[in-house]
Amino acid sequence: MRVCSIASGSSGNCIYIGDKDTNILIDAGISRKRIAEGLGSIGISPQKIDAIFVTHEHIDHIQGINMMVKMFDIPVYATGSTLDCIRSKDKQGVISMNHLYEVHPDRCIALKNMHITPFSTSHDAADPVCYTVCSGGHKAGVATDLGTYSEYTVDHLSGSEILVLEANHDISMLEAGRYPYRLKCRIMGEKGHLSNEDSGRLLCRLLGKGLKYTFLAHLSKENNYPGLAYQAVKCQIWEELGIDRLPFQMTVAGRDVPSAMASL
């Protein structure tokens, strides 16, 4: 199994997951051109993408879907409410019903050798989900855009060897920043985004369960930066568990450039 972040952040998200037979994207929140260039940089042709799995309907997760479907005839999987939102935003009628496949939280989808399981998340969208992907005895998890997490979240992500995990904002930067008060409350609320510290707390729950690689993802451009996210998450793990040297490889997913490939 291989995982690469093509783009990650509040301005656009796209994650590639593949094995020897199957290639999927989790979200397509950047332009078709950028997705194709990002895939090309890791040696994957867009024509080889078997499906796009969508977490929710916000533009930073669906921006490139119409053109990816139009150019490469790729099927799109999402919850029913998310599919309704995608169709309502498709003003040119590019996406036909034949391209759309409904998923249901906690029900596994088999796609060639892959098994993809959506699970519900807490975010201000119609019916948002995150995903775990299993193939060849390996497991990857993608968990962004969740204002909070629970035992249910931990249960789904447990056993992930590769994890793409939100570390959206630094609380002090957000509180002191220029965002309107209502937006600050939304981001910090239970249907908003995980802070750096919350990301670290969730990682503490997943240590010792096979975790090998973590990408810190979906960083805010205004209220975070990579070095701060990395150190804050590492400090949180140290404070809770007393672990100074991380027992897994952790990197921060880039906003505009593909990450290094994590391979199992």
- What dotted CATH number matches 2-258? 3.60.15.10
| Tens digit of each residue's pLDDT (9 = 90 or more) over 173-215 | 999 999 999 999 999 999 999 999 999 999 999 998 899 999 9
| Domain range list for the chain | 2-258
pLDDT tens digits, one per residue of 52-93: 999 999 999 999 999 999 999 999 999 999 999 999 988 888
Measured over the CA atoms of residue 215, residue 216, residue 217 and residue 219, the dihedral's sign is negative
**How confident is the model at residue 213, as a pLDDT?**
98
**30 or 96: whose pLDDT is higher?**
30
Q: What is the pLDDT of residues 99-151, one digit of tens each?
A: 999 999 999 999 999 999 999 999 999 999 999 999 999 999 999 999 999 99
State the pLDDT confidence band at 10, using cuts at 50, 70 and 90.
Answer: confident
